[in-house]
Amino acid sequence: MELWKASTDEFVDTLKSERLSRAYVVTDPRSGAVEASHAGLKTLAAAVATDQRDYHKHQGFFVEIGRESDHLLGAFIHLTRRGQAAGGVRFWTYETMEEYIRDGLRLSRGMGHKNALAGIWWGGGKGVVARRGGLDHRDPEVRAKVYRDYGEFVSSLRGCYVTAEDVGTTPEDMAQVFQRTRYTTCIPPAFGGSGNPSILTARGVVVAMEAALQHLGMGTLESKTIALQGLGNVSLYTIDELLRRDVKRIVGTDVDLSAIQAVEERFAGDRLETHLVSPADVSIFARDCDILVPNAVGATLNPQTIPLIRARVVCGAANNQLEDSPRDARTLHDRNILYVPDFLANRMGIVNCANEQYGVFAGDAAIDAHLERDTEFGIFSRCLEVFSRAAESGLTPAEEAEMLADELSAQPHPIWGNRGQQIIDYLVASDWALGESPV
Ligand code: NAD
């Protein structure tokens, strides 16, 4: 079977038929060759090695079949020069191994960019768990098994990857992960974690909007009109911040009536207009406004929506807003719309939990520094740096942000150097793939 095109369940069955529960694909740091743990995975390694889009010399990825849950658990590691590969674990449905691997490769690199631009001493990593067919993934027992298995799997990787919360993963799930590994952040406050990051994320996005307005010579947020897609957690606090800055009007859409009701209850009538829409509705993009804020889901900026946009600035919290990064960033640029790369604007979620093992308290200056205008690595300064680089080079802000992030990602951790690669080398040398998680 061609494993690249196999379904994730078929891949699990193939491993099992060979009496295996673990596998990896790594890039040899000396030769640059992409190598698989088992001969049967050679075609998979070859598909990765020849990929031009999502593979960027990633240090590797590791997968395991969950002992209790039978799910495909994965950790993708782009680069560990700045520190341990860190990024949340996504629990999602994938049609093929290609989709699964591509998501992990793309997202781990994206996390590295976000961490580096934020000045955090972490590398780029991402966890990906493929939902198994025929199960109710809302069932707490199913979830507990998946996430306990995930914790064990992460422990087995000896700290080259540090996990966190992401799409499809809840605080309750993180509590399960934390039962089985120390290599996690974003744990519930009851266990010493940092809790809901949405307030800080909203504050960060608003600071990014202010930088964009300053760059364009459009003044402050006062009297501006804002269009929000999605009225969930981040938008609730974004609206609060915007109203406090005296915006003229906010219009928002959501597909979920309860989200609209929560916003209406809190801000009823206060310069706010909301609309319940269907998931395919893109009318919010055509609104006459100064700033468009994608705060719902990914890939909403695409050839269908970009031609509709009337805002001068697009700046929101959603991850991976561009359906195709270089293509859609270029179209926005050509339409004279300033797009603030999402990984620059929405960093506060990860900033909030990045260093929670060093202590958690309100008013932490190390966290607030990211929101201040004169901090070198702060959101405001980094945005202006990226915008002015783009204005000089003619490249898009997304391209410039990636280039700056690549430069910063190459800096070695000041204390530990590239310890992540040493751990990966150890896992390979000690036949990690032939073992199984501790019972
Ligand atoms: P959320 O789930 O609370 O809110 C998202 C809202 O978008 C939901 O109310 C949902 O119903 C709505 N929505 C979905 N599809 C829509 C559509 N087509 N049109 C209009 N509304 C739609 O999530 P959140 O915590 O507010 O995060 C918002 C986005 O920002 C997500 O993409 C998230 O991954 C990203 N993000 C969040 C944080 C954080 O701190 N919460 C940090 C970084 C990135």
Q: Structure tokens of 78?
A: 């782009």
Residue 126 appears among annotated catalytic residues:
yes
Q: Are 89 and 169 in contact (CB under 8 A)?
A: yes
Q: Are 204 and 346 in contact (CB under 8 A)?
A: yes
Same domain, 364 and 429: no
Same domain, 234 and 135: no
Same domain, 378 and 302: yes
Same domain, 9 and 93: yes
Q: Considering 16, 42, 126, 248, which one is annotated as catalytic? A: 126
355 DSSP 8-state letter = T
Cα separations (Å) of 106 from 88, 184, 333, 391?
13, 21, 22, 26
Please, is 250 exposed, middle or buried when counting C-beta atoms within 10 Å of its C-beta (0-12, 13-18, 19+)? buried
The reply to whether 410 falls in a domain is: no
**Is residue 227 within 6 Å of ligand 1 at its C-beta?**
no
343-377 tens-digit pLDDT: 999 999 999 999 999 999 999 999 999 999 999 99
Between the CA of 229 and the centroid of ligand 1 the distance, in Å, is: 9
Ligand 1, atom 40, lies closest to the CA of 198
**Is residue 395 within 6 Å of ligand 1 at its C-beta?**
no
Count CA atoms within 13 Å of residue 237 on its CB side.
Answer: 16
**Is residue 165 within 6 Å of ligand 1 at its C-beta?**
no
Same domain, 293 and 424: no
The reply to whether 415 falls in a domain is: no
Candidate from 256, 297, 342, 370 with most ligand 1 atoms within 8 A of CB, to mutate: 297
**Is residue 201 within 6 Å of ligand 1 at its C-beta?**
yes
Which stretches within 140-183 are classed as H helix? 140-156, 171-180
The reply to whether 175 falls in a domain is: yes
Q: What per-residue confidence (pLDDT) applies to 439? A: 41
Query: Which residues, including other chains, have CB under 8 Å from residue 364's CB and lie 6 or more apart?
Result: none
As averages over each run of 10 residues, the pLDDT of the chain (439 residues) reads: 91 94 97 96 95 94 97 98 96 95 95 96 97 92 97 98 92 95 94 91 98 98 98 96 97 96 90 96 98 95 98 96 94 98 96 93 95 96 98 97 96 97 97 77
Please, is 374 exposed, middle or buried when counting C-beta atoms within 10 Å of its C-beta (0-12, 13-18, 19+)? exposed
The reply to whether 204 falls in a domain is: yes
Between the CA of 319 and the centroid of ligand 1 the distance, in Å, is: 9
Between the CA of 232 and the centroid of ligand 1 the distance, in Å, is: 5
Q: Rounded CA gap, 101 and 160, in Å?
A: 18
Same domain, 141 and 207: no
Cα separations (Å) of 373 from 54, 119, 377, 384, 436?
34, 15, 10, 10, 49
Q: How many distinct structural domains can be found in the chain? A: 2
Q: Structure tokens of 132?
A: 């198994």
Nearest to 423 by CA among 182, 156, 148, 127: 156
The reply to whether 411 falls in a domain is: no
Beta bridge partners of 227: 251, 292
Same domain, 392 and 282: yes
The reply to whether 412 falls in a domain is: no
Q: Rounded CA gap, 402 and 190, in Å?
A: 36
**Is residue 194 within 6 Å of ligand 1 at its C-beta?**
no
Between the CA of 318 and the centroid of ligand 1 the distance, in Å, is: 6
**Is residue 276 within 6 Å of ligand 1 at its C-beta?**
no
Q: Are 28 and 37 in contact (CB under 8 A)?
A: no
Candidate from 229, 263, 295 with most ligand 1 atoms within 8 A of CB, to mutate: 295
Between the CA of 291 and the centroid of ligand 1 the distance, in Å, is: 17
Q: Are 91 and 438 in contact (CB under 8 A)?
A: no
**Is residue 317 within 6 Å of ligand 1 at its C-beta?**
yes
Domain boundaries, position 220 = 198-404
Candidate from 185, 234, 367 with most ligand 1 atoms within 8 A of CB, to mutate: 234
Candidate from 90, 120, 254 with most ligand 1 atoms within 8 A of CB, to mutate: 254
CA 333 to chain centre: 23
295-328 tens-digit pLDDT: 999 899 999 999 999 999 999 999 989 999 899 9
Same domain, 167 and 284: no
**Is residue 198 within 6 Å of ligand 1 at its C-beta?**
yes
Task: Give the CATH number, domain containing residue 353.
Answer: 3.40.50.720
Same domain, 270 and 396: yes
Task: Give the CATH number, domain containing residue 67.
Answer: 3.40.50.10860
Same domain, 183 and 223: no
Q: Are 401 and 389 in contact (CB under 8 A)?
A: no
Same domain, 101 and 181: yes
Same domain, 17 and 146: yes
**Is residue 277 within 6 Å of ligand 1 at its C-beta?**
yes
pTM: 0.93
Mapped onto helix, strand or coil, the DSSP state of residue 249 is: strand
